[in-house]
A and B are shown apart, each in its own frame.
Chain A
Amino acid sequence: MKIILNNTEEEFAVKAMSVSDMLKFKKFSFRMRIVKINGKLIPGEEYDSTIINDGDNVQMIYLMSGG
């Protein structure tokens, strides 16, 4: 399947995946983050149950302390 991840097209060797799967595949291990799928914010407790579909626009933002 192909998705847009942070504005870049990325291919994954699976037919479907959850947000948790995607974070694992990409080794996005830093815990302070925001995930949006097609503009919708996905709360952390829904990472396992939310499915990313082919063609979805996924944004992953790390939140670093400092300001």
Chain B
Amino acid sequence: MRISEIEGHLRKFRVGIAGAGGLGSNCAATLARAGIGTLVLSDFDIVDLGNLSRQFYFVSQVGMEKTSALKENLIRIRPEIKIITHHAKLNKTNIPIVFAGCDVIVEAFDKAEMKEMLIKVVQQGMPGIPLIIGSGLAGWGNSDKLKCRKIDETLYVCGDELSETSDELPPLSPRVGIVANMQADAVVEILMKKE
């Protein structure tokens, strides 16, 4: 299949990204390059100088809402992409509304409790919508332990499922980028099979 055909196919779909930090911002950039037609970005945070160690933002964007800054960057990659932004904290009530109509959802939260909440809401309240979660990306090295595990048709887990971030084991750009791109690859894999 030629790249023009692949891009033509991927353009038809809408992908939701829950969180625009290390995983979400890098996954969004990869999906924009791959040719996904519409991205729904959701995050409550603003860009901080410390984020630049691993997130897809620039010094000039410090202080901006992450969703607005990311939209700006994605449009620079692919001007025709449609970006829908929600500058809000996601919860049980707004998740089905924010991500309504999405063909796949990427979980890109920081906190495990938020990951759990999103999994419950999507798996129980949005049946049939595939969810790609990130779990275990802290530190450096051991990149052979990072994997994408298909649980079933609606749930994939990317990461080592082992390393939790802490002050002593922070998230660093290389492993965060690998997991974000694994998540993007799972999205592409799912959508390439979809009519």
Whether the pair A62, B161 counts as a contact (CB closer than 8 A) is: yes
A side interface size, CB within 8 A: 15
For residue B123, CB closer than 8 A to chain A, the reply is yes
Main secondary structure, interface of A, reads: loop
Q: For the complex of A and B, list the 10 residue pairs with the smallest distance between their C-beta atoms, beginning with the closest.
A: A66-B165, A32-B112, A63-B112, A64-B164, A64-B136, A67-B23, A65-B112, A67-B110, A63-B115, A41-B123
| Interface flags, A40-63, vs B, CB<8A=1, else 0 | 010100000000000000010111
Whether the pair A66, B171 counts as a contact (CB closer than 8 A) is: yes
For residue B137, CB closer than 8 A to chain A, the reply is yes
Whether the pair B120, A66 counts as a contact (CB closer than 8 A) is: no
Residues in chain A within 8 A of chain B (CB atoms): 7, 32, 34, 36, 39, 41, 43, 59, 61-67
Whether the pair A39, B152 counts as a contact (CB closer than 8 A) is: yes
Contacts of A61 in B (CB 8 A): 133, 135, 151, 155, 157, 161
Residues in chain B within 8 A of chain A (CB atoms): 19, 21-24, 107-113, 115-116, 119-120, 123-124, 133-138, 149, 151-155, 157, 159, 161-165, 171, 176
Known: A61-B135, A64-B135. Contact between A34 and B116, CB under 8 A?
Answer: yes
Most buried by A among B151, B155, B165: B151
Whether the pair A66, B138 counts as a contact (CB closer than 8 A) is: yes
Q: Show 12 A/B contacts (Cβ-Cβ < 8 Å), sorted by A.
A: A32-B115, A41-B119, A41-B123, A61-B151, A62-B135, A62-B136, A64-B112, A65-B111, A66-B163, A66-B171, A66-B176, A67-B24
Contacts of B124 in A (CB 8 A): 41
Whether the pair B164, A67 counts as a contact (CB closer than 8 A) is: no
Nearest CB in chain A: distance from B157 CB, A? 5
